[in-house]
Amino acid sequence: MSSPILTSGCTRIRIGGDRPYEAVVGHGLTREAGETGRVLGAEPLRVAVVHSRALLATARRIARELTDEGRIVVSLEVPEGEAAKDMTVVVGLWRALADAGFTRSDAVVAVGGGATTDLAGFAAAGWLRGVRLVLVPTTLLGMVDAAIGGKTAVNLPQGKNLVGAFHPPAGVLCDLDLLDTLPPADYVSGLAEVIKAGFIADPEILRLVEDDPAGAVHTRELVERAIRVKAEVVTEDFREDGRREHLNYGHTLGHAIERVAGYRVRHGEAVAAGMVFAAELARLDGRLSAADTQRHRTLLAAAGLPTTHGGAWAPLRDAMGIDKKTRGNRLRFVVLDAIGRPALFTAPDEDLLRAAYERLAR
């Protein structure tokens, strides 16, 4: 795994590839003068700070820092949550950048959860075919997942993240102090992605969560471990041509649940149910032991995440057919052959899928 570099109380985790960058984890990063500017570099004169209304105070603090450095800062407010990930919002951002005279040497700073960083990243990828991007995730989900790896996307009525681009940021600032004001349900939702990293690659994460299901004692270690899992995978497979698909454990059904619910279900809650489904699917196929399958339910429930999901199977099955991992008409699921041993399961029998869902719906 990528080794952390400790500097001034911060952990700097390198994400490699054609355009390497660092994810910086620590306390007070958005209050430390010059940290955002350091990641941006000297070249950008104009900077768009993209944020939701709830993050206005944090965005203003960053904007003041950048203004004090002599940069021209434009503050762009976007809707909360998944409502932001819409092409009309993207076009609004592009028009704002045009009105402010943004050039290819300018930059975008995204302040918010995964939806905001996905949206702002896509806008930065498309503006003049790509401008510099800095991500300041403010949620646990954003820090350990959405902000790492260079994926950007918006949604369509037909499905989640169907329109997107690969656009690595110049850097990611994970200020752990921002988690102090995160609503408990949103923190728990983020734990789903942390636990996912444990199931696919780092079983020590599972032990830490089992030791403290609320995550309060081990927050920093959990964040750093989950980032290192993703950093190693995306460094090896940036464009999801191979191993990166393993990061989608629980997401095939999870995204379907989100879409069918009109995105009124938190991402982590949907992914938690998706992981239980994937575990049941692997168990029914003879891949995963009953004990490891039960461990999914026990651990996720202890963390406060759902381990069941009701509702009709047919709309969820239809929604999965439009998932990004589908090839032709062949569904592809990430499953486990054992804890820490992910694999792809292509075109499982429909009866097997339905049986796994019946286990989830109990």
Return the amino acid letter for 286. G
Q: Which tokens is 295 given? A: 């461990």
Q: Which tokens is 243 given? A: 């191993």
Catalytic residue among 46, 132, 196, 244: 244
Q: Cβ(339)–Cβ(199) under 8 Å?
A: yes
Please list the alpha-helical segments (H only) found in the chain.
35-40, 56-68, 87-99, 114-126, 140-141, 184-200, 203-211, 219-236, 251-260, 267-284, 290-302, 313-320, 350-360
Look-up of token digits 């402010």: 100
Q: Cβ(238)–Cβ(298) under 8 Å?
A: no
* φ/ψ of residue 6, rounded to 5: -90, 125
Residue 230 appears among annotated catalytic residues: yes
Residue 151 appears among annotated catalytic residues: yes
Residue 71 appears among annotated catalytic residues: no
Catalytic residue among 251, 259, 283, 309: 251
How far apart are the C-alpha atoms of 249 and 321, rounded to whole Å?
A: 16
Residue 283 appears among annotated catalytic residues: no
Catalytic residue among 228, 255, 296, 324: 255
> Distance between alpha carbon 230 and the CA centroid of its chain, in Å?
10
Q: Cβ(55)–Cβ(112) under 8 Å?
A: yes
Three-class SS state of 170: coil
Catalytic residue among 82, 193, 245, 280: 193
Catalytic residue among 82, 240, 258, 280: 240
Catalytic residue among 65, 161, 218, 248: 248
Q: Which residues pair with 357 in a beta bridge?
A: none
Residue 266 appears among annotated catalytic residues: no
Return the amino acid letter for 32. E
Q: Cβ(62)–Cβ(136) under 8 Å?
A: yes
Q: Cβ(47)–Cβ(64) under 8 Å?
A: no
- In SS3 terms, 227-291 reads as HHHHHHHHHHCCCCCCHHHHHHCCHHHHHHHHHHCCCCCCHHHHHHHHHHHHHHHHHHCCCCCHH
Catalytic residue among 46, 160, 228, 267: 267
Residue 218 appears among annotated catalytic residues: no
Catalytic residue among 46, 71, 196, 230: 230
Residue 324 appears among annotated catalytic residues: no
Catalytic residue among 71, 132, 151, 218: 151
Residue 267 appears among annotated catalytic residues: yes
Three-class SS state of 335: strand
Q: Which residues pair with 174 in a beta bridge?
A: 25
Q: Hey, which residues are catalytic here?
A: 129, 151, 193, 230, 240, 244, 248, 251, 255, 267
